Amino acid sequence: LLGTRSTPTHALAAVPVEGPPLTVDGFVEAFLQELHFGQGVQLDRSTVNDQYLALARTVMHYMMAEWLETGRRRRAEPTKMIGYLSAEYLLGRQLGNALLATELTEVAEEGLATLGIDLATLRSQEIEPGLGNGGLGRLAACFIDSLAVMDVPCIAYGIRYEYGIFRQTFFNNRQLEVPDNWLRLGSPWEFPHPERAVQVDFGGHTERTSDENGREHVQWVPSWNVQGIPYHYMVPGYDNKAVNTLRLWSAQATDAFNLQIFNSGDHAEAVRSQTFAENISKVLYPEDSTPQGRELRLQQQYFFVACSLHDYIEHTLPADFDLRKLPDQIIWQLNDTHPVIAIPELMRILVDVKGFEWAEAWDITKRCFAYTCHTLLPEALEVWPVDVIGRLLPRHLEIIFRINEDFLIEVRERFPGDELRVRRMSIIAEHPERAVRMAYLASVAATKINGVAALHSELLRDKVLPDFSEMWPDKFTNVTNGVTPRRFLRLANPKLSELITEVLGDERWVTDLDRLSGLEAYADDASFREKFRQVKAANKTRLFELLKRRDGIDVAPDNMLDVMVKRLHEYKRQSLKLLHIVHLYESVVSGRRDISDIVPRTFVFGAKAAPGYHMAKETIFLINSVAEKINSDSRMQGRLAVVFPANYNVTLAERLIPAADLSEQISLAGKEASGTGNMKFALNGALTIGTDDGANVEIRKLVGDDHFFLFGMSEPEVAELGARGYVPSSFYEQNEDLRRAVDLLGSGEFTGSNRDAASTVVNDLLWNDRFMALADFQSYVEAQARVDAAYADTEAWTRSAILNVARTGFFSSDRSMRDYLDRIWLR
Ligand code: GPV
């Protein structure tokens, strides 16, 4: 293979690199160069796509200079590095952020205008790289943004899926999935390095030999392999000249493997083997918080992890590096369990390849990894059947068994005679089939284990991994999630940003979000409140124009905008939101309430369902059906509306969130690990209606009870009701509003008198309702009435909205990164 360290030219002094001049003329010249010599087209013949690609490449020239300089500076003074391992990065569009980072936005706008080109048009040409499912992937994107902004050395590693998260469309109110061919118009933000390819082995068996000292050596004899080609993405900081690297791996057939078959005359087989190899990075698994036990997924996981460790050890570290010092140089952060196979992989490298004794290798490995858990749902904890791992990675399975053996000895020493505990804690589950519990493997090896919000970390310690926290209390810590203020405030909400900068006097808040507290004083300033409302109104107009263009949806301009956007999942309870809407509708059409008593609202949903998640898809169908009925009912005109734009993604989030009045965060308490959408809404001046769950707990504490609509059972109350035995139908029977809403939903009223279409969801609510929507219904409806009353007092509402912005600076992902550095990475 061609993978190499840098060639001997390093003896030559590095030449300082400079980007094009930061002037309008300099920019225009660089842009035309790219158009002519990059795209091979003259301006008068160029398409919007030509112009977009040339613009992206031009901006990259500016970033590239800083990227090279960052690398040079870091090599001169090596410090400990973060190796972020994540199977998902939900990046969103790159252009706006790159322009912001290079301070080129105005220059580009002006320069392009002199050529008769509209920057906004080029920005909307970009297809966002949807290389993630939802919260977990978006969190990774926020984190790497913050690390660059803080100039912390980090290489983020992942997979360059050829197809990202599917594009959602609706047909007859049902979700259809269209493949996301995001690379089809070219992808200017990446550059491949085929000369840095890494070979990844799979399958086969192991062989044992002893040397003259009687020491056993294990040799893995794999049966097939692929190669990983790295694609580099620059991750720019902000106003600090630092640019980090995101390295995504793409799978290809190895040349040797191909050639062998090709030469044997079987051309068809050669093509087949190539297809087989390339399948590994072909498509993102569209599941969110549910494990999908497909062998290809394990191949993906091992593929990117093996490439990444090899890349770091063989290509990034100096050639003569003493691996005993590895923990001083790198900490691998495991973004949930998807990359946990890195643990036995590092052991394999140290013991089998580098010749370390097991004990020393384990001592090194234990100090190189930290593990973040992102869930509380037991069914979302990944397990891999022993026979699947054994077939794909026989040596790794042996290593896992050995780690487990040593670990269980330790458990027996600590808790003599407690065989029940030993069985509970074993990395290998015996039932229903022998399988590796990846979260346990991670917990045994990691220096630190963290949850993603205060409540989550507590429950993780006490309910998900109680035996592990008893054994190693100091391993457990919390880092509350955060979101990047660059993308989700500065870029997504330019009008609010301008207003904030105006009153705070400068833009330092963009990298120091606690400064938003300076807005507190203005909450009582009537003229400021008026400006704040104008910003919100302008953001609504901007959103409604987009929805008109994008989906042909008309939205009444003056309604309260009530938004629930997130993946569709039962625990998130979109069905509870739906029950509330149907309840309002029913109370009007039945004549029990006058429509004029209801504060005019537009309900917005955005949600993708995993293609194989039946209940979630039926819920989407039901939401669309209810929307169709309500929106076409003349009695509701301008008073109640439900809109559900298809294909909620980062790009749409950036328009939706700044326009929202009310943020729906209504998961059953104890189920949402954190949530991060909740933070984005609060920072953009929406008020939250929410349960005491995930990061809602911390949001409420910071903004204050008077500016947050709390409802529902607390986590201990949920546990108690569960223990008593929850009977949803008893809530149905005892609550007339609920009964009427459920009955209407199940009657076929919304589904063309086809009762069956609604029955999946309605029957589940009545007879199962695992996430207790019916139990929280009354409390939810009451909280919504408080929302109506609060919204009617415009000045007080605006004041609350301003205080939400002023008090949520804590949720910057810059703060999350500081916490990781203090509590995990630099400990
Ligand atoms: I596990 N999360 C996700 O998006 N996908 C997953 O597979 C798993 C977790 C989410 C959680 O559901 C959110 O509560 C959390 O805010 C987010 O991860 C980031 O931590």
Active-site residue 676, yes or no? yes
ipTM value > 0.85: yes
Ligand 1 interacting residues, C-beta cut-off 6 A: 133-136, 139, 288-289, 336, 374-375, 380, 452, 481, 672-676, 694
- Supply the pLDDT for residue 3: 43
**Is there a common fold for 79-94+129-480+819-825 and 558-805?**
yes
pLDDT surpasses 80 at 333? yes
Find the helix or strand (DSSP H, E) in which 131 lies: strand 130-131
The minimum-distance atom of ligand 1 relative to the CA of 372 is 20
Distance CA 666, CA 564 (A): 9
Burial class (CB in 10 A: 0-12, 13-18, 19+), 465: buried
DSSP, collapsed to helix, strand or coil, labels residue 569 as coil
Q: Map out the domains of the chain as residue ranges.
A: 1-77+98-127, 79-94+129-480+819-825, 558-805
Q: Over 60: is that where the pLDDT of 562 sits?
A: yes
- Using the 8-state DSSP alphabet, how is residue 16 labeled? P
Tell whether the model's pLDDT for residue 418 goes beyond 50: yes
What's the 376 CA to ligand 1 centre distance in angstroms? 10
Catalytic residue list contains 282: no
Per-residue confidence band for 10, with pLDDT thresholds at 50, 70 and 90: low
Residue 9 pLDDT greater than 60, yes or no:
no
Read off the pLDDT of residues 502-531 as tens digits, 9 standing for 90 and up.
999 999 999 999 999 999 999 999 999 999
| Tens digit of each residue's pLDDT (9 = 90 or more) over 31-67 | 999 999 999 999 999 999 999 999 999 999 999 999 9
Q: Are 404 and 442 in contact (CB under 8 A)?
A: no
Average pLDDT estimate for 556-561: 95
Catalytic-residue membership of 567 = yes
**C-alpha 288 to ligand 1 mean position (Å):** 8
Neighbours of 761 (CB within 10 A): 22
Catalytic residue among 105, 372, 676, 798: 676
Tell me the pLDDT tens digit for each residue of 114-162: 999 999 999 999 999 999 999 999 999 999 999 999 999 999 999 999 9
Ligand 1 centroid, distance to 399 Cα (angstroms): 29
Whether 680 sits among the annotated catalytic residues: the reply is yes
Residue 4 pLDDT exceeds 70: no
Question: 236: closest CA among 144, 325, 308?
Answer: 144
- Position 2 confidence tier, pLDDT thresholds 50, 70, 90: very low
- Pick the catalytic residue from 160, 310, 374, 536: 374
Q: What is the pLDDT of residue 1?
A: 38
pLDDT reported for residue 13: 64
pLDDT tops 60 at residue 8: no
Measure 128 CA to ligand 1 centroid, in angstroms: 20
Is residue 61 part of the annotated active site? The answer reads no
What is the per-residue pLDDT for 262? Answer: 65
Q: Which helix (H) or strand (E) holds 278?
A: helix 267-278
Q: Indicate whether 256 pLDDT > 50.
A: yes
Is 572 considered catalytic here? Answer: yes
- % of the chain beyond a pLDDT of 90: 92
Spot the catalytic one: 461, 608, 680, 815.
680
Q: Give the C-alpha distances (Å, rounded to integers) separating 779 from 249, 316, 708.
A: 48, 56, 14
SS3 content of the chain, % helix, strand, coil (to 5): 55, 15, 30
| Domain 558-805: assigned CATH number | 3.40.50.2000
Strand (E) or helix (H) holding 233: strand 224-236
Among 284, 289, 484, 672, name the best residue to mutate to test ligand 1's pocket (greatest count of ligand atoms within 8 A of Cβ).
289
Where does the pLDDT of residue 367 fall: very low under 50, low under 70, confident under 90, or very high at 90 and above?
A: very high
User: In 3D, which of 164, 428, 382 has the Cα closest to residue 289?
Assistant: 382
> Which of 88, 90, 136, 459 has the most ligand 1 atoms within 8 A of CB, as the residue to mutate?
136
User: Assign residue 784 a region: left if phi > 0, alpha if psi is -120 to 50, beta otherwise?
Assistant: alpha
Does 268 have pLDDT greater than 90? Answer: no
As a whole-number percent, the residues of the chain with pLDDT over 70 amount to: 97
Domain 79-94+129-480+819-825 has CATH 3.40.50.9100: no
Q: Which of 284-293, 447-456, 577-586, 654-663 has the lowest mean pLDDT?
A: 284-293
* pLDDT digit string, tens, across residues 383-401: 999 999 999 999 999 999 9
Ligand 1 atom with minimal separation from the 567 CA:
4
Q: What is the CA(138)–ligand 1 centre distance, in A?
A: 9
| Digit-coded pLDDT (tens) for 224-234 | 999 999 999 99
Q: Is the pLDDT of residue 207 over 70?
A: yes
Please choose from 290, 372, 374 the residue to mutate so as to test ligand 1's pocket, defined by most ligand atoms within 8 A of CB. 374
Residue identifier of the C-alpha nearest atom 18 of ligand 1: 136
Looking at 395, 536, 567, 639, which residue is catalytic? 567
DSSP state of 518: G
Q: Give residue 788's pLDDT.
A: 97
Residue-averaged pLDDT of the chain: 96
Distance separating alpha carbons of residues 670 and 692, to the nearest angstrom = 8
